[in-house]
Chains A and B, each alone.
Chain A
Amino acid sequence: MKLSVWTYEGPPHVGAMRIATGMKGLHYVLHAPQGDTYADLLFTMIERRNHRPPVTYTTFQARDLGADTAGLFRTACEEAVARFRPEAIIVGASCTAELIQDDPGGMAETMDLGIPVVPLELPSYQRKENYGCDETFYRLCRALAQPQDRTARITCNILGGTALGFRHRDDIAEITSLLADMGIEVNVAAPLDATPADIARLPAAHFNVLLYPETAEAAARWLQKEHGQPYTRTIPIGVGATRDFVREVQQIAGTDILPDESHLRLPWWTASVDSTYLTGKRVFLFGDATHVMAMARVARDEMGFEVAGMGCYNREFARPLRKLAKEYGVEALITDDYLDVEAEIERLAPEMILGTQMERHIGKRLGIPCAVISAPVHVQDFPARYSPVMGFEGANVLFDTLVHPLVMGLEEHLLAMFREDFEFHDDAGPSHHGGGHAATSPVRAEERVPESTVGVVWLPAAEKELKKIPFFVRGKARRNTETFAAERGQTEIGVDTLYEAKAHYAR
């Protein structure tokens, strides 16, 4: 047993729902108790889908348990097929139904429903949501993909897009257009927006573009082994990775056509003088392994940040992430416990966090700016506007996303310069319209200074000096100084200690 409040991933059957809901013409019959339908609202609310997820739940109750839950399942299958007329169905059990051992797969296969039935075995007490996606898509490919000739022109499949995927909709559009620039057509993009008939056509492509290893690596491997389709390893997030991706595609497809880069603005934006202040900003990255690994490169090589730490919540990808972390000279944090992540962030005291919805809130609590780079995400990260993170437009989007939470260079400079000014000092309210001034919020600046935790006393002069440091780096300065003093056995901090610590930590 493990006590948990926040979970980065849902149970594996939610992963299967993400495949079914992303696709068209596929229906999922899920043996599950009343109440498990809560997962529908992830799709109708967070992703704002305008239709119900194509899932029929048996919604058994206590009174059904003694009787015939298996019969309930059969009826649900028959009625779902009759009502929705899907091209194929997937069937499986949620965590509770796994315990009552009705064997939905076995039952559905013997029912002669007239369409392909794909049974799913998703171990709810060992695995999680991403596994559910990956396994479901793999099972669909195994059941539906047919041996066939390659298309006459060079085509590829784009694998891994699902419902509830972080920016999947726009990433696929962006990569489709990048490939079109290179003269490569997309045969099928799946599972997102594909039908079971499309899955059958997968082997007609010359190769696969694997965009999200979390949700489609098993399928990509199987297609390689069974149908001889190579698949791409580079995740095209950021300028460098997109160019690497282009080279990888050129090699596989035997082409030398380059995509259009005329709308790529990140390199100039990041080179322009206002970005100088981004240099060496210490960032901590956390999320799914794929996005974290790709974003580490963007952060260091394209934004000029310093990577202070990185980690992921999906253990399946612990090995490559550990390896990459070593290359960046940091320790990888592999955990699905947000309290571990919070402790690590506090320890590292980064100037910025790139993370998930959870890290956004940790950042808010600790006063550290944060940009969301990975699922799980909330409704605001399913934007109406076009917002890929992949390809060249994706790079533009990332520049904006990573810079907005930070105080920009000129602004930072001005704030430092005028920090004693009556309008800009720390105790001034957020705006001088409406009169929310010092008198009404005298504790504002104090709140931002965390209490000393190591039993070191600040002398009044040092305390005053500390307040002259801009509030957004003050917490870090305070912690550093206290650590510095504690390590040297000092019990009091004077102005000198403050500046000695500053010199000590300066790089």
Chain B
Amino acid sequence: MKLTLWTYEGPPHVGAMRIATAMDKVHYVLHAPQGDTYADLLFTMIERMKKRPPVTYTTFQARDLGSDTAELFKDAARTAYARFQPDLLMVGASCTAELIQDDPGGLAAALDLPVPILPLELPAYQKKENWGAAETFYQMVRLLGQDHVLPPGQQRAARAAGAKPSCNILGPTALGFRHRDDVQEISRLLRELGIEVNVVAPLGANPADIARLYEADFNVNLYPETANTAATWMTRSFGQPSTKSIPIGFKGTQAFITEVCQLAGIECDVQKFSQSSKARWYALSVDSTYLTNKRVFIFGDATHAIAAAKVAAHEMGFKVVGLGTYSRELAREVREAAAELGLEAMITDDYLEVEAKITELQPELILGTQMERHIAKRLQIPCAVISSPVHVQDFPARYSPQMGFEGACVLFDSWVHPLMMGLEEHLIGMFRGDFEFHEGAMPSHLGHSSAPMKAETGGAGAGAEQITAPNLNLGNKTLAWETDAEKELNKIPFFVRGKARRNTEKYAVEQGLLSITLETLYDAKAHFKS
């Protein structure tokens, strides 16, 4: 059993729903208790879809458990097929139905429906949402592509002379973070490069489209979390190579262009394509100088976390002080990316661990998920969202890709926005106790009143101090701040104060001091600056 305040992913059957809902002419019959239909709201509310997800739930209740829940499932499958007439029927169980072991796959097969059945085995107590999506997509691609698998040892036939190179775009789903606009941005980029998009899947595809995947020359693996398993199988079975680079950020997009052109066997001038990006110039302009070495902590799914770390370090000039992911399936890639930045990656799905790490590091900016927003609020650190899980505000009406050159512009704006602007930062450092721009007021461009950021009272969050207070291992000593040192510490701008406090204490412990004086504070400052 695990204490979970917030979960980074839903259960695996939600991943399967994301595939079904992304597609046309697919229906999913889910053996699940009453109440599991809450998942419909993810699509109708958070993503604001105009249609109900194509999911029929058995919604059994306690009184059904004494009777024949298997019969209930068969009825649901029969009526769902009759009503919706899908070209493919997915069947599976939610976590509670997994416990009662009715075998939806076997039951559905016994119904003899005139439609392919995709039975899903998604272990709800071991695996999670993205795995569920990846597994569902992979099983579907396998089922519908089986007639086109190359015999062992046979190479893929060369592209017909004069034919345009073509690719599939794999991975975008319903409820994916900015998938809608990423697909548009990348499709346009590929078109401009002279590459045709054969099928985008699962988003917008139907089972017939899935059966056509083998036709493309190669695959663009846009979201490894959901497409890796299918892409790997297609490389093996159809001889289609797939892309490795993720087109997030200015440089990421350039690398992606180079890679797809190589896979398509075409020449292209990467520089020419790069001219449209304002993000690069914005980062180079002097207004951005104050962003240099701002300490940033990054957490999210592996794809977005790795990409964000690269953008933060190499395009924004931030200092990445922490990098982690909840995507265990891609832990190795994140470890490599962290090592390149001289860090050890955090691989965890435990919100409390992430919270503890951020508390310890005291970054000036957090790039994370909706869950890191909770931590950021508690620690009063600016925060921007780079990855699922996200909520309704991150399914915006406006065009907001993360990928491609336009995506790089979106990243620049949204990451810089929560930070205090340069001039204000300077003046706060110079003059304290201003009646309006006082210490601890929120950045004024965020439109908050100048109320203090720190609530000094206890109230509901009275337990919070315990965690925010650093817990350095001092053996049996206690470390005390002298009053004037504490006062001096409070003159340091709040966004670096947490770090200064920790550094000073660390220094004091190393020096074997029992109390921190004004001098200790400045000794520590000099020590860490050197």
Chains A and B form a bound pair: no
Q: B residues near A, CB below 8 A?
A: none
- Chain A positions within 8 Å of B, measured between CB atoms, are none
